[in-house]
Structure 1
Amino acid sequence: MSHSLAFADKEYETLLEEQRNMASGPRLELLQKHGEAERKLLINIVWPVKQSFKGLILEKEIVTLTGAKAYIDVFDETVFFGLEAEGYTVHAGNITRAV
């Protein structure tokens, strides 16, 4: 692993810990389950572009057009842009249809 990616890995761990400390409820549960896909997304895709994780929110809660709550793996509040490490199929099993 290059020096830059090793640094990015350390920064990711710091970001994840900070966000876990600020989170509660379903968001905290999702942050506790943050895995290799999310880590790779941040380190291999986001880091080379931004060289920073500033302005990122992990597992950002949103309300969909149908009114359901959903969580975006990574949300960059500096450009109002969200990224998902996995597609809809992976998340579909977690969807509840509350009336």
Structure 2
Amino acid sequence: MFENVYEDFWLEQIRHAEGQRLEMLRRDLTGTKKLLEAVLFPVLKTFEGLVLEFEMLSLSGVKIYGDACHPKLRIVFEEENFITHAEKITRERFSFERARARSVAMLGYTYFPYSRDELEKRPEFCQRNLFEWIGRFGSMEGGGLHQLPVYEREVLRLSLFSNKPFGLAEVCGWLQLTKESCRKVLRDLESKQFIYSVGGSASRCHKFMITEKAVALLHQ
């Protein structure tokens, strides 16, 4: 199953890439594939929202690339092989990698590296690390979430992690409330421009998605 899903995902990434990023996607991605198979797919259950060879501009103005990135979660994932990232690395390359990590941080992303040995020998531990990060992110009192009522906060948090359109039924399941109560939560979120309607009609909406305004609030 993973092989088929990965192949479709990789081809989709290729179709929307150009320039240097396209070249990066056509190189040997064995390490990145292992990262997806051992950690990201088991935890996230989907490749939706992920970008391979995510392109960024470093502090020095040079283009840098992350093995995989989830832009909405603001997290860059890396697979690092000991031989290529430590054992045979030059001093110049070592300094470049440190500057690269700082650039990722300055751009507002969490840098989340895994060694090849960890991915191959301790995948459950690697998965647990990501689960813990997601749990802490979703409950940060210092973030913008605390500004909202608890039910609105929970809907935004879960919709961000699900990364796909959601409807009244999903919200009822998340909040364990009646349909009418959940409709009010959705109306309030829509009036604040934290969610927007997807599909449906002028009189009836079937699905919603989180807005960029809400994503920015979650990362304050």
The two structures have a TM-score, normalised by structure 1, of 0.77
Given candidates 69, 77, 91, the residue that maps to 2:71 is 77
| 2:49 equivalent to 1:55 | yes
What whole-Å deviation, never above 9, does each CA across 1:26-53 have from its counterpart, x for those lacking one? 0000000142111110011101110101
Higher relative contact order (CA 8 A, sep 6+): 1
User: Cα RMSD between the aligned structures?
Assistant: 2.1
| Aligned twin of 2:26 | 32
SS in 2 for 1:55: coil
Distance in 1, matches of 2:19 and 2:64, equals 13
Instruction: Tell whether 2:17 aligns with 1:23.
Output: yes
Structure 1, gaps ≥5 residues long: 1-6
Looking at CA atoms only, which structure, 1 or 2, has the larger radius of gyration? 2
* Alpha-carbon spacing, 1:34–1:20, altered in 2? closer, same or farther (3 Å): farther
Give the Å deviation of 1:78: 2.6
* Structure 1 residue 85, shift from structure 2 partner: 1.3
Q: 1:82 Cα shift?
A: 0.5
Shift of 1:12: 1.1
Provide structure 2 residue ranges, at least 5 long, that are not aligned to the other structure. Answer: 97-220
Cα offsets for 1:6-64 (capped at 9, x unmatched) = x2221111111011111111000000014211111001110111010100000011011
Which is richer in helix?
2
Percent identity of paired positions between Structure 1 and Structure 2: 32
4+ residue runs over 6 A deviation:
none
Distance 1:36 1:55 in 2: 21
Partner of 2:85: 89
- Matches of 2:55 and 2:28, distance apart in 1: 15
Equivalent pairs counted in the alignment come to: 87
